[in-house]
Amino acid sequence: MKNTIAIVGRPNVGKSTLFNRLVGHRKAIMDNQSGVTRDRHYGYGDWIGKHFTVIDTGGYVHGSDDVFEESIRRQVKLAIDEADVVLFMVDVDAGMQGLDEEFANVLRRYQGKKPIYIVANKADTNARAHAAGEFYALGVGDGDIFTISSQSGSGTGDLLDAVVSHFEDPWEEVQDEGLPKIAVVGRPNVGKSSLVNLLLGEERTIVTEIAGTTRDAIKTRYNAFGNEFILIDTAGLRRKTKVKEDIEFYSVLRSIRAMEESDVCIVMLDATRGIEAQDVNIIALADKNRKGIVILVNKWDLVEDKETNSTKKIEEQILEKIAPIAYPPIIFTSVLTKQRVHKAIETAIQVYENKTKKIPTSQLNEVMLKVIEEHQPPSVKGKMVRIKYVTQLPTHNPVFAFFCNLPQYVSDSYVRYLENRMRDNFGFIGVPIGIIFRKK
């Protein structure tokens, strides 16, 4: 990536608040509780005609009891390595802390290799701005300390003027527009982040055995093996009654928003637990939002009795539970052993292609009018429905309009019949199909 800014520092100094200001909206979760951000979080912004990528990072800690400490430190260092400019945030209100000094030692190895700016946050009064001078003692940074208030935006203009002076113009990197968006969704701890990390070939998100490790929806561009798309790792979706913390509540909202913005949802299940009620709810939510769906049954390597628990038997159980939704492909995989992982991605791309597929009107009528002739709509109250013509509507999802004399008399069972024949003849695996009737 070109023109990349990394925002780093100890916990709770306002990194996510500044991130949200630079990208122009509340994309990262913010809370007074330290340690909310864990993974590297990416967004896009621009200033005086120059575009850039911003990386928000978890708070750098050392010697704490936090089980995520080592992973967060690794994520922070990866962000610094990726960045063209590093913003080292400190808190004027709290003053210089031991963790600030420890992190300054980490940054010294990058001094002279890339621009580093000390950003003194919460300097919303003259007295606080004056107190920021103590941070010169950290011995890192290029030039003056920038005093800002990330909450109000005060001082961020001067900071950005300095930052973008290091960037290329114009910014040649193409952003997300036009690329398929594939969201990895599911209950907590089914292997979503492990799948994302495996595909990207790096620890893009932190993985632990603790459910709820991922809190934000993390977007990353994937470009390998001839495929290019936006891959979105999401927080685990639990039932509302199970959500206790405010932070998890917002994480769930972000996951649902990521699902709504995606084109295809890879819904991950745990093979050792089978399909549960919340899995059904997640699949139903994706269907309600008219998303392409791929069901990925992960941890297949941990299923001991594979003869008794055959894939065919489990597929039948899944389809029975999610009925009447019957179109998603089901793939059995193991992220740990890398079994059939790329097949899952190939299938997701195929589903996206099906979702955007357009069938020529002449071909539609040639095929479907024969299907209708073979099995006419049943008469209702002595009325005979005559379907004359069919066309695909210019919508984001496959929707087909059948023109007939009496659209109000077409039964639900006949709609399902037409949908099944559409799938038999034109595919549309993994994609919800809309069928409407209009008067001719």
Q: Following DSSP, what letter does each residue of 143-157 receive, concatenated?
A: SSPEE-BTTTTBTHH
Q: What is the CATH number of the domain that holds 63?
A: 3.40.50.300
Whether 342 and 336 have beta carbons less than 8 Å apart is answered as no
What local confidence, expressed as pLDDT, does residue 62 receive? 57
Please identify, among 325, 356, 387, the residue that sits at the C-terminal boundary of a domain.
356
Whether 215 and 192 have beta carbons less than 8 Å apart is answered as no
- Terminal C-alpha separation, the chain: 54
Extract the tokens encoding 43. 């967004």
Number of domains the chain contains: 3
What local confidence, expressed as pLDDT, does residue 237 receive? 52
One domain, residues 347 and 366: no
Whether 180 and 230 have beta carbons less than 8 Å apart is answered as yes
One domain, residues 13 and 161: yes
What local confidence, expressed as pLDDT, does residue 76 receive? 76
169 known ligand binder: no
Q: Residue 9: which of 67, 55, 61, 69 has the closest Cα?
A: 61
3-state secondary structure of 85: strand
> β-strands 218-224, 227-233: how paired?
antiparallel
How far is residue 331's CA from residue 14's CA, in Å, rounded to a whole number? 42
Tokens 């001991």 sit at which residue? 304
Give the bridge partners for 387, in sequence order.
404
Extract the tokens encoding 367. 């095929």
Tokens 């002279």 sit at which residue? 112
One domain, residues 158 and 252: no
> β-strands 330-332, 292-298: how paired?
parallel
How far is residue 363's CA from residue 354's CA, in Å, rounded to a whole number? 16
Number of H helices, E strands in the chain: 12, 15
What local confidence, expressed as pLDDT, does residue 135 receive? 94
pLDDT tens, per residue, the chain with 440 residues: 568 898 988 888 888 889 888 887 544 433 343 343 434 566 778 888 788 888 888 766 555 444 445 655 676 777 788 789 999 999 999 899 888 898 888 889 888 899 999 999 999 888 888 889 999 999 998 888 999 998 888 999 999 999 999 987 544 444 555 788 998 888 877 888 788 888 877 554 433 343 343 334 466 777 766 778 888 877 655 444 443 443 333 444 556 667 777 899 999 899 988 898 888 888 888 898 899 999 999 999 888 776 766 888 899 999 999 999 999 999 999 988 988 888 998 999 999 999 999 999 999 999 999 999 999 998 888 889 999 999 999 988 899 999 999 999 899 999 999 999 999 999 899 999 999 999 87
Whether 153 and 116 have beta carbons less than 8 Å apart is answered as no
What local confidence, expressed as pLDDT, does residue 254 receive? 55
What local confidence, expressed as pLDDT, does residue 145 receive? 93
In the DSSP assignment, the letter for residue 296 is E
In the DSSP assignment, the letter for residue 59 is P
Q: Residue 425: which of 374, 352, 388 has the closest Cα?
A: 374
What local confidence, expressed as pLDDT, does residue 3 receive? 82
One domain, residues 304 and 322: yes
In a domain, 175, yes or no: no
One domain, residues 394 and 346: no
What domain range is 349 assigned to? 181-356
In a domain, 52, yes or no: yes
309 known ligand binder: no
Residue 401 has a CB neighbour count (10 Å cut-off) of 15
Whether 123 and 89 have beta carbons less than 8 Å apart is answered as no
Q: What is the CATH number of the domain that holds 391?
A: 3.30.300.20
300 known ligand binder: yes
What local confidence, expressed as pLDDT, does residue 419 receive? 93
One domain, residues 372 and 261: no
One domain, residues 200 and 280: yes
What local confidence, expressed as pLDDT, does residue 380 receive? 81
189 known ligand binder: yes
In a domain, 152, yes or no: yes
397 known ligand binder: no
In a domain, 387, yes or no: yes
One domain, residues 348 and 370: no
In a domain, 217, yes or no: yes
221 known ligand binder: no
One domain, residues 344 and 365: no
Whether 181 and 230 have beta carbons less than 8 Å apart is answered as yes
What local confidence, expressed as pLDDT, does residue 59 receive? 62
298 known ligand binder: yes
Dihedral sign for Cα atoms in the order 406, 411, 416, 421: negative
How far is residue 431's CA from residue 327's CA, in Å, rounded to a whole number? 7
Please identify, among 327, 356, 385, the residue that sits at the C-terminal boundary of a domain.
356
377 known ligand binder: no
297 known ligand binder: no
In a domain, 365, yes or no: yes
58 known ligand binder: yes
217 known ligand binder: no
In a domain, 173, yes or no: no
One domain, residues 134 and 73: yes
188 known ligand binder: yes
Whether 55 and 34 have beta carbons less than 8 Å apart is answered as no
One domain, residues 232 and 345: yes
Please identify, among 166, 191, 223, the residue that sits at the C-terminal boundary of a domain.
166
227 known ligand binder: no
9 known ligand binder: yes
One domain, residues 17 and 160: yes
Rg (CA), the chain: 26
What local confidence, expressed as pLDDT, does residue 171 receive? 46
Distances in Å between the Cα of 28 and the Cα atoms of 180, 219, 223, 243, 388 are: 22, 12, 24, 19, 52
What local confidence, expressed as pLDDT, does residue 70 receive? 62
3-state secondary structure of 297: strand
Whether 279 and 267 have beta carbons less than 8 Å apart is answered as yes
In a domain, 176, yes or no: no
**Which secondary-structure segment (H or E) carries 121?**
strand 116-121
171 known ligand binder: no
Whether 150 and 87 have beta carbons less than 8 Å apart is answered as no
